[in-house]
């Protein structure tokens, strides 16, 4: 018997299902439900973005610690040196030509002196230290030292004085020469417990000097290294030396001596000058016996008796500089000069036609510069040999002092303290002698310099100011020297430790 129900092909069956009203309703419901779900999700996300999110924060554990105070330490360069012995033998080795007199004191406690390994004997460099102040409520211990030496032997004659300085990894030395009759020695002292590896960058009137031996200079702990500058910068009129160190921190100095034929022409110790800046101050520029100096300038080999300002632009851009000389005597006129400087080249700018007196020199430049001043003197009276003794001094740019400090006045003729006030208000500086001595008081008008005689081999505490520049100078018959007053060394301060 035949089935009366017709059989449909698969394609025909799918068509029937597609046309089923119930199937279409199910599909539409699903689409609507999905759309509503997406809309709800979007609204939820937007709302979540508007609500403040919860934050989780915890203050880290920490403790405030004051480090144990450390002893203050300064290094004195040591006595004057010559290359070779008195007979001229062993010309590559530095030997002593006498000893220096060191003056030092601390604001509290005793000063301990150690000798560094150097040329030996009384000429050896020295490290001076003060004991730390263990009390957290007490003032930091201040320390100062200076040295001086009078040379009067053969080709060495004159007065050399310098302040004992704190260690550094970066210092600039402006002064000296290596031309005929001019000998300049670089001394690098390392008072630390570790080896110091030193690099030098030398600039001159011809630009940067590129020569082997400027890097990788090893200075052993508790020792001094002596380097003849002529071996690195021969026949150089105007060197400026940048000293950097790794490992141990060091103190660098220059020693220059001059001889003209058979006549000694002076000697000096040169400390670090202020770091590159657009504004520098050199207080205590002493001009003495200018008539006698002028009388010898015409002689062969005496051209470097001229007063000059040595300036270097260590950057890459040329600039101009304005130099002002303001007399410490309000009744004496000063002077002002403007010069154009070439970057990387050392310039010795002559300062001429300035009457005798003491001056403060200000340097303002369009770019950071390094500077120092060379002044000279000639004795009024001739010696038995018929010559007038001459001497010179390099006066470095001073570092600003912003708090109480000590200054040690070296042993020398007619010492004078020069205090420059760069602020807009007058100040009264208290000059208190440490130990035996007479206290002094100095009124310094706004943007001016005042001077007062002080006593040799005496240490003073300076206070009563917020900002000064200062120096000490010495003037004798055919003798001239000076150095800047330095701010106190950095002391321990509170630090926050996070475990």
Task: Evaluate whether residue 39 is within a structural domain.
Answer: no
Per-residue pLDDT reduced to its tens digit, 302-336: 999 999 999 999 999 999 999 999 999 988 988 99
Distance between CA atoms of 10 and 209, rounded to whole angstroms?
99
**How high is the pLDDT of residue 56?**
53
Under 8 Å between Cβ of 158 and 264: yes
119 or 222, which is more confident?
Answer: 222
- Does residue 52 carry a pLDDT above 90? no
Q: What is the pTM of this model?
A: 0.83
Task: Evaluate whether residue 6 is within a structural domain.
Answer: no
Nearest CA to 275 among 307, 330, 314, 231? 314
Bridge partners (DSSP) listed for residue 468: 401
Task: Evaluate whether residue 401 is within a structural domain.
Answer: yes
**How many separate domains does the chain show?**
1
Per-residue pLDDT reduced to its tens digit, 216-272: 999 999 999 999 999 999 999 999 999 999 999 999 999 999 999 989 999 999 999
Residues 6 or more apart whose CB falls under 8 angstroms from that of 422 comprise 281, 400, 447, 467, 468, 469
Q: Which of the listed ranges 75-84, 291-300, 301-310 does the model predict with the highest average pLDDT?
A: 301-310
Domain of residue 153 covers 65-495
**How high is the pLDDT of residue 379?**
93
Distance between CA atoms of 370 and 375, rounded to whole angstroms?
17
Average pLDDT over residues 97-119: 92
Distance between CA atoms of 134 and 141, rounded to whole angstroms?
10
Task: Evaluate whether residue 7 is within a structural domain.
Answer: no
Containing H/E element for 14?
helix 10-18
Residue 154: Cβ within 10 Å count: 12
Task: Evaluate whether residue 36 is within a structural domain.
Answer: no
Distance between CA atoms of 143 and 131, rounded to whole angstroms?
10
Task: Evaluate whether residue 5 is within a structural domain.
Answer: no
Length of the chain: 499
Buried b / exposed e over 225-234, threshold 16 CB at 10 Å, is bbbbbbebbe
Nearest CA to 202 among 191, 194, 213? 213
Residue 10: Cβ within 10 Å count: 7
């Amino acid at each position: 018997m035949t089935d009366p129900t017709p059989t449909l092909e698969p394609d025909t069956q799918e068509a029937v299902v597609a046309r089923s009203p119930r199937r279409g309703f199910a599909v539409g419901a699903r689409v609507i439900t999905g759309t509503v779900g997406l809309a709800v999700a979007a609204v939820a996300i937007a709302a979540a973005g508007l609500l403040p999110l919860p934050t989780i924060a915890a203050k880290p554990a920490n403790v405030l610690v004051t480090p144990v105070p450390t002893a203050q330490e300064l290094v004195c360069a040591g006595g004057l040196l010559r290359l070779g012995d008195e007979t001229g033998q062993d010309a590559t080795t530095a030997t002593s030509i006498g000893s220096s007199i060191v003056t030092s004191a601390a604001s509290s406690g005793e000063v301990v002196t150690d000798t560094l390994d150097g040329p030996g004997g009384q000429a050896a460099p020295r490290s001076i230290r003060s004991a730390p102040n263990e009390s957290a409520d007490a003032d930091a211990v201040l320390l100062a030292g200076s040295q001086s030496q009078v040379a009067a032997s053969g080709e060495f004659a004159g007065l050399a004085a310098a302040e004992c300085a704190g260690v550094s990894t970066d210092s600039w030395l402006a002064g000296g020469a290596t031309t005929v009759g001019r000998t300049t020695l670089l001394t690098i002292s390392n008072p630390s417990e570790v080896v110091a590896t030193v690099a030098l960058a030398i600039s001159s009137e011809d630009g940067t000097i590129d020569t082997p031996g400027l890097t990788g200079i090893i200075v052993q702990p508790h020792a001094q290294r002596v380097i003849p500058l002529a071996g690195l910068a021969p026949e150089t009129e105007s060197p400026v030396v940048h000293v950097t160190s790794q490992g141990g921190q060091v103190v660098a100095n220059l020693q220059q001596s001059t001889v003209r034929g058979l006549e000694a022409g002076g000697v000096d110790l040169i400390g670090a000058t202020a770091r590159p800046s657009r504004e520098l101050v050199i207080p205590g520029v002493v001009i003495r016996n200018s008539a006698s100096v002028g009388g010898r300038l015409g002689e062969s080999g005496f051209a470097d008796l001229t007063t000059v300002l040595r300036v270097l632009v260590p950057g890459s851009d040329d600039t101009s500089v304005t130099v002002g000389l303001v007399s410490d005597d309000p009744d004496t006129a000063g002077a002002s000069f403007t010069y154009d400087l070439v970057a990387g080249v050392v310039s010795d700018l002559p300062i001429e036609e300035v009457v005798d007196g003491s001056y403060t020199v200000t340097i303002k430049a369009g770019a950071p510069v390094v500077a120092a001043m060379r002044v000279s003197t000639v004795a009024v009276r001739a010696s038995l040999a018929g010559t007038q003794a001459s001497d010179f001094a390099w006066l470095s740019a001073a570092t600003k002092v912003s708090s109480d400090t000590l200054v040690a006045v070296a042993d020398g003729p007619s010492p004078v303290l020069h205090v420059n006030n760069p602020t807009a208000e007058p100040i009264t500086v208290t000059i208190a002698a440490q130990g035996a001595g007479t206290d002094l008081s100095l009124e310094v008008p706004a943007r001016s310099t005042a001077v007062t005689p002080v006593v040799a081999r005496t240490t003073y505490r300076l206070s009563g100011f917020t900002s000064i520049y200062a120096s000490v100078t010495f003037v004798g018959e055919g003798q001239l020297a000076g150095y800047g007053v330095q701010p106190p060394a950095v002391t321990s301060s509170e630090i926050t430790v996070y475990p």
